[in-house]
A and B are shown apart, each in its own frame.
Chain A
């Protein structure tokens, strides 16, 4: 078999023969063969120092014949007999070779794992009841699977620093640390901010931050995710909720055009934390802290919960039907050229499709979105801080999103534009429309999750759901179509933006048979050529490449180089 494909080698894992590319790590071969090798220090995106010793397995190679003796004969499948080595090897740093045998079960590996677990637990505090990692802790899991169940250690445990603030967002508990060095390697290899290291020796080894420095880079919270125990915990999530209570929703980050894949952890309609989700074509295993922590506003006091209609100087509560009827009255009295629709590049493709229909239905003369440009950080954050600019170009058909803002302002100033429909955008704070300018309008309708200066100037204010409360698809900077999934329910009478736009079309005399966001996706597949043939289910959790943009993600490019040079598995 191995003669035909020269780059593949035969490897026997727990008695069954498999074929893997030569040079693959043993642990990765085992994983692909469906055999889990317990490990702490190994991480496919980081180098393998092999210091936790948890992944020890038995290894064997064909015996080398003694001088003069005959070489062993292969069996009918071409496999040579395996001579097992008397001592175990680590699976994370050793690579596979032809006709290699790996045994992950058996008395030797079991004794090794038991021994490693006993030593790791010798100094580990038994504070699982207050540890945030409990429930997703490798040490807990492996001590159940491979541990002894009781401690023979009668001496006093080593005292180490506890509750140390190593950075503005991270707390370190050195007693819980098992010295796997994942965080040290992450800050060194991925974040290029090597501030962590080990000091002291033996059982007194402690993880410390370099004197005078702190773990403050914008990717620091990833160390909390990769910490296999509760040594590094997030200040933001600290003691907020036990992990087993939370429901996980796979969705995407909407803070920039990269669209990092994330998991939202929520319980009883409250989001507690966000963690990156592995997608090797978007964000690898990481995400920036600034994006990860930008979710508390969803619970803000200033969330809009009901439609509001302006009565004189003040807004009053209204029903959806009344608010929409008010809007329809005002809009139908105007000519299309007097209406401007300002949509948002934070909207999903489905929402943009129905906005496009609204524009056509009202024959609106002006359409634009608001551009958000920041600085790319050379890792994951894109300079375009809108998550779906490519969607705006593709679905709404704008060639240069954001370029018409000034023209619309001038139109309002000159009185040519009499009504503005601002969808999910805060015109005053984000697009530079002054309240005085908006005051010149005959009619301003705005939808947004939060009350703000634009809402204050609006004649009709409609509560539109935030990114965590709606589903849809977005196209990231590299042209990948990804799915946004609803994680929590929106407060009060809030509706998803596509529902608001649909109802607005219906209130102004239009009609359509759209009742679910998936219906809109079917329309997209029918209307926009790039989407043709795609279904909602096909996009899946990891998305699909949709268009070519030529944009690359710097962190991923570096990761590819590291994989190519054999530093990491990837």
Chain B
């Protein structure tokens, strides 16, 4: 069904457009002179200057894996992030933790954990779905590379970006 749009009835001076142009130019010139005189500053001198310190806590940058204060890699390779990832950027190959390892009781860890940063859409579903608090979206946003292979973050790189996170739920403690 066609919708009939009621257009505003313009006065004769409004048809001239000049008053509108003058109002607009007043704003533009106002900004122009305040920047010229140095009163306002809008351009950030990227990359010498960066957003990093201004980013909010909830900023969604590159996803990364974290270790906890006990030095344990949090990820147990449950593959839920691989399942939820909308662009299928995550590939995990699980393995069993050998019995002589310090964390043998956790039983499972990723042998390989790859995130294809060309595919990643920074949606944060991996962080949301993670039952082990192992993957977090960090504030890294300038992910660049000169080849496709370079754009795939492997396990080492992910732990490098993620670093150590303290105060997470210590689920795999002595009691359980």
Give the interface of A toward B (CB within 8 A).
125-126, 128-130, 134, 156-157, 162-163, 238-242, 244-245
Give the interface of B toward A (CB within 8 A).
76-80, 82-83, 94-96, 99, 105-108, 131-132, 171, 175-176
* Distance A467 CA – B99 CA, assembled complex (angstroms): 37
Does B83 contact A244, Cβ atoms closer than 8 Å?
yes
Does B175 contact A156, Cβ atoms closer than 8 Å?
yes
| Distance from B73 Cβ to chain A, minimum over Cβ atoms (Å) | 13
| Distance from A244 Cβ to chain B, minimum over Cβ atoms (Å) | 7
Q: Given the known A-B contacts A238-B96, A239-B108, A240-B94, are A130 and B176 also in contact in the complex, defined by CB atoms under 8 Å?
A: no
Does B94 contact A239, Cβ atoms closer than 8 Å?
yes
Does B83 contact A130, Cβ atoms closer than 8 Å?
no
Does A125 contact B176, Cβ atoms closer than 8 Å?
yes
* Distance A287 CA – B24 CA, assembled complex (angstroms): 81
Q: Is the interface of B mostly helix, strand, loop or mixed?
A: loop
Does A128 contact B131, Cβ atoms closer than 8 Å?
yes
Q: List 24 A-B contacts (CB under 8 A).
A: A125-B176, A126-B171, A126-B176, A128-B131, A129-B80, A129-B132, A130-B77, A130-B78, A130-B107, A134-B78, A156-B175, A162-B105, A162-B107, A163-B99, A163-B107, A239-B94, A239-B108, A240-B94, A242-B79, A242-B83, A244-B83, A245-B79, A245-B82, A245-B83
| Chain B residues within 8 Å of A129, by CB | 76, 78, 80, 131-132
* Distance A163 CA – B96 CA, assembled complex (angstroms): 11
| Chain B residues within 8 Å of A130, by CB | 76-78, 106-108
Which 6 pairs from chain A and chain B are nearest by CB?
Answer: A129-B78, A130-B108, A239-B94, A242-B79, A130-B76, A129-B131
| Distance from A269 Cβ to chain B, minimum over Cβ atoms (Å) | 15
* Distance A128 CA – B130 CA, assembled complex (angstroms): 12
Q: Which residue of A lies closest to B174 (CB)?
A: A159
* Distance A290 CA – B18 CA, assembled complex (angstroms): 89
Does A157 contact B175, Cβ atoms closer than 8 Å?
yes
Known: A125-B176, A130-B77, A242-B83. 15 other contacts (CB 8 A): A128-B78, A129-B76, A129-B78, A129-B131, A129-B132, A130-B106, A130-B107, A130-B108, A157-B175, A162-B105, A163-B99, A239-B95, A239-B96, A239-B107, A244-B83
| Chain B residues within 8 Å of A162, by CB | 105, 107
* Distance A422 CA – B106 CA, assembled complex (angstroms): 51
| Chain A residues within 8 Å of B132, by CB | 129
Q: Given the known A-B contacts A129-B132, A130-B76, A242-B79, are A157 and B176 also in contact in the complex, defined by CB atoms under 8 Å?
A: yes
Q: Which residue of A lies closest to B95 (CB)?
A: A239
A125, A157, A239, A244: the one contacting B77 at CB < 8 Å is A239
| Chain A residues within 8 Å of B171, by CB | 126
* Distance A128 CA – B82 CA, assembled complex (angstroms): 16
Q: Which residue of A lies closest to B78 (CB)?
A: A129
| Distance from A308 Cβ to chain B, minimum over Cβ atoms (Å) | 32
| Distance from B161 Cβ to chain A, minimum over Cβ atoms (Å) | 22
| Distance from B126 Cβ to chain A, minimum over Cβ atoms (Å) | 14
| Chain B residues within 8 Å of A238, by CB | 96
| Chain A residues within 8 Å of B105, by CB | 162
| Chain A residues within 8 Å of B83, by CB | 242, 244-245
* Distance A126 CA – B129 CA, assembled complex (angstroms): 16
* Distance A59 CA – B105 CA, assembled complex (angstroms): 46
| Chain B residues within 8 Å of A244, by CB | 83
| Chain B residues within 8 Å of A126, by CB | 171, 176
* Distance A125 CA – B106 CA, assembled complex (angstroms): 12
| Chain A residues within 8 Å of B82, by CB | 245
Q: Which residue of B lies closest to A129 (CB)?
A: B78
* Distance A240 CA – B132 CA, assembled complex (angstroms): 19
| Chain A residues within 8 Å of B96, by CB | 238-239
| Chain B residues within 8 Å of A134, by CB | 78
| Chain A residues within 8 Å of B108, by CB | 130, 239
| Distance from A389 Cβ to chain B, minimum over Cβ atoms (Å) | 41
* Distance A470 CA – B7 CA, assembled complex (angstroms): 68
* Distance A153 CA – B107 CA, assembled complex (angstroms): 25
| Chain A residues within 8 Å of B79, by CB | 241-242, 245
Q: Which residue of A lies closest to B80 (CB)?
A: A129
| Distance from A95 Cβ to chain B, minimum over Cβ atoms (Å) | 42
Q: Which residue of A lies closest to B130 (CB)?
A: A129
* Distance A225 CA – B105 CA, assembled complex (angstroms): 24
| Chain A residues within 8 Å of B106, by CB | 130
| Distance from A30 Cβ to chain B, minimum over Cβ atoms (Å) | 33
Q: Which residue of B lies closest to A163 (CB)?
A: B107
* Distance A238 CA – B132 CA, assembled complex (angstroms): 20
* Distance A130 CA – B79 CA, assembled complex (angstroms): 9
| Distance from A486 Cβ to chain B, minimum over Cβ atoms (Å) | 24
| Chain B residues within 8 Å of A239, by CB | 77, 94-96, 107-108
Q: Which residue of B lies closest to A162 (CB)?
A: B105
| Chain B residues within 8 Å of A240, by CB | 94
Q: Given the known A-B contacts A156-B175, A163-B107, are A242 and B78 also in contact in the complex, defined by CB atoms under 8 Å?
A: yes
| Chain A residues within 8 Å of B99, by CB | 163
User: Which one of B78, B83, B99, B105 has the greatest number of beta carbons of chain A within 10 Å?
Assistant: B78
| Distance from A72 Cβ to chain B, minimum over Cβ atoms (Å) | 55
| Distance from A281 Cβ to chain B, minimum over Cβ atoms (Å) | 37
* Distance A244 CA – B176 CA, assembled complex (angstroms): 26
* Distance A163 CA – B78 CA, assembled complex (angstroms): 18
| Chain B residues within 8 Å of A128, by CB | 78, 131
* Distance A338 CA – B59 CA, assembled complex (angstroms): 78
Q: Which residue of B lies closest to A134 (CB)?
A: B78
| Distance from B131 Cβ to chain A, minimum over Cβ atoms (Å) | 5
| Chain A residues within 8 Å of B80, by CB | 129
Q: Which residue of B lies closest to A238 (CB)?
A: B96
| Distance from A172 Cβ to chain B, minimum over Cβ atoms (Å) | 13
* Distance A240 CA – B108 CA, assembled complex (angstroms): 10
* Distance A157 CA – B77 CA, assembled complex (angstroms): 25
User: Which one of A125, A128, A162, A239 has the greatest number of beta carbons of chain B within 10 Å?
Assistant: A239
* Distance A125 CA – B79 CA, assembled complex (angstroms): 19
Q: Which residue of A lies closest to B175 (CB)?
A: A156
* Distance A242 CA – B92 CA, assembled complex (angstroms): 11
* Distance A239 CA – B77 CA, assembled complex (angstroms): 9
User: Which one of A157, A162, A242, A245 has the greatest number of beta carbons of chain B within 10 Å?
Assistant: A242
